[in-house]
């Protein structure tokens, strides 16, 4: 991951129906979205393709700890 991601400013907004109901707060910027639930943080990185569609890669913070508690949801 690029070192520049560590310098991006984060501005959070409360989820008021913009995304999945489990998400409490959202931070968005060029090439990323960060979703905070009561139990985890989900970082979604986007990379535009030639046709301006986005390829998404999500990394839930607890994904490596426990597969039993993991549940999929769509940003």
In this predicted model, what pLDDT tens digit does every residue of 60-73 receive, in sequence order?
555 444 444 555 55
> What is the reported pLDDT for 45?
87
Residues 6+ apart with CB under 8 A from 30: none
CA 75, CA 58: separation in Å to the nearest integer? Answer: 9
61-66's contacts with Cβ under 8 Å and 24+ in sequence apart are none
Residue bearing the bigger pLDDT, 75 or 16: 16
CA 34, CA 75: separation in Å to the nearest integer? Answer: 10
In this predicted model, what pLDDT tens digit does every residue of 6-61 receive, in sequence order?
676 788 999 999 999 999 999 988 788 999 999 999 999 887 666 555 555 565 55
Nearest to 75 by CA among 16, 29, 34: 34
């Amino acid at each position: 991951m690029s070192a520049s991601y560590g310098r991006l400013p984060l501005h959070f907004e409360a989820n008021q129906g913009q995304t999945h109901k489990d998400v409490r707060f959202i931070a968005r910027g060029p090439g990323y979205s960060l979703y905070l639930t009561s139990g985890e943080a989900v970082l979604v990185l986007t990379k535009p393709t030639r046709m301006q569609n986005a390829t998404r890669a999500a990394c839930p913070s607890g994904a490596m700890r426990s597969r039993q508690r993991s549940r999929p949801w769509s940003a």
